[in-house]
Amino acid sequence: MAEHFIWRHSNSGGGTESFVWLHGWGYTRAGFQRLAALFQKDGHNNIFDLPGFGETPMLFSGAGTSDYADSLAAQLDKNQRHIIIGHSYGGRVAIQLAAKHPKLVKAIILIGGAGVPRRRSIPYKVRAAALKILGKLARISDQLLGTEYRQAYTTRFGSEDYKNAGELRGTLVSAVTENLGPVAREIKCPALLLYGDGDKEAPPEIGKRYETLIAVSRYVELKGYDHHDILTRGAYQCEALIKSFLKDLDHE
């Protein structure tokens, strides 16, 4: 299936480098247009719609980041090593691709990349465990008694992403419950880790954790940016940091 599945994308620029841009959850390739436009003279840019977003259809129900990486690998030129730039969920796919298909990847760049567990307080953990039990009880009641408690539970406690996921709900659940720490340890290529100090969805602690996991990595914290505006207001700062990273790559 992977060989025939097509990820819709836009391409532009020219040169010897190949940039692959992977957007975050809830975005489309339009989310990277501003930043990618700053690399027109640096290489060839492929800005993808991830499966289930924009113009790319779903892979299959419950597909995980590993499945996304395998499918993406089938889209890429096998005779070239690519620079993979992933924001948020796209960072998860970049991690999987670099670990599973190292011959295709020259370097990865995570911008607010997710994928490793955050530190949580004991009260938070207790509440999360209680809600998990409540959700299971609601599902069992619906199955056995024909109630509709699960929908009420989702409306009351589900995140906006979860509520809006539709057919991608299984993929979202798979992502938020996975731990890519062991996968990140397998990465041999260099990694640049860019995180906004105001990011609540993928806070700096995640980037710092990836820095300890990926053998050759560089962590940079951008002051005054959150999970979203790091791609817009922060585009020029990201550009400067990425180009400095690429220059160092060429000298290695």
- pLDDT of 245 > 80? The answer is yes
Q: Report d(CA 150, CA 80) in Å as an integer.
A: 48
Quick one: pLDDT at residue 138? 63
Task: Tell me the HSE value of 190 on the side-chain side, using a 13 A CA sphere.
Answer: 16
Quick one: pLDDT at residue 149? 63
Query: pLDDT, tens digit, for every residue of 209-219?
Result: 999 999 999 99
For residues 94 and 50, membership in a common domain is answered with yes
Tell whether 109 is covered by a domain: yes
For residues 21 and 144, membership in a common domain is answered with no
For residues 133 and 197, membership in a common domain is answered with no
Q: Provide the residue range defining the domain that includes 242.
A: 9-117+179-251
Query: pLDDT, tens digit, for every residue of 85-113?
Result: 999 999 999 999 999 999 999 999 999 99
- Number of CB atoms found within 10 A of residue 240's CB: 11
In which band, very low, low, confident or very high, does the pLDDT at 1 lie, cut at 50, 70 and 90?
very low
CA 233 to chain CA mean position, Å: 20
For residues 45 and 71, membership in a common domain is answered with yes
Strand partners for 195: 221
Query: Which pair of structure tokens corresponds to residue 112?
Result: 């607010």
Tell whether 174 is covered by a domain: no
Compute the average pLDDT of residues 170-188: 94
- pLDDT of 159 > 80? The answer is no
DSSP the chain: -TTT----EEEEE-SSEEEEEE--TT--GGGGHHHHGGGTTTEEEEEEPPTTSTTSPP-STT--HHHHHHHHHHHS-TTS-EEEEEETHHHHHHHHHHHH-GGGEEEEEEES---SPPP--HHHHHHHHHHHHHHHHHHHHHHHH---HHHHHHHHH--HHHHH-GGGHHHHHHHHT---HHHHTT--S-EEEEEETT-SSS-HHHHHHHHHHSSSEEEEEETT--TTTTTTTTHHHHHHHHHHHHHHHHH-
Compute the average pLDDT of residues 176-185: 95
- pLDDT of 64 > 50? The answer is yes
Tell whether 4 is covered by a domain: no
- pLDDT of 247 > 60? The answer is yes
- pLDDT of 122 > 90? The answer is no
Query: pLDDT, tens digit, for every residue of 124-144?
Result: 555 656 656 756 776 787 787
Tell whether 35 is covered by a domain: yes
Mean pLDDT of the chain: 89
CATH code for position 49: 3.40.50.1820
For residues 148 and 201, membership in a common domain is answered with no
Q: Report d(CA 239, CA 38) in Å as an integer.
A: 7
- pLDDT of 120 > 80? The answer is no
For residues 102 and 135, membership in a common domain is answered with no
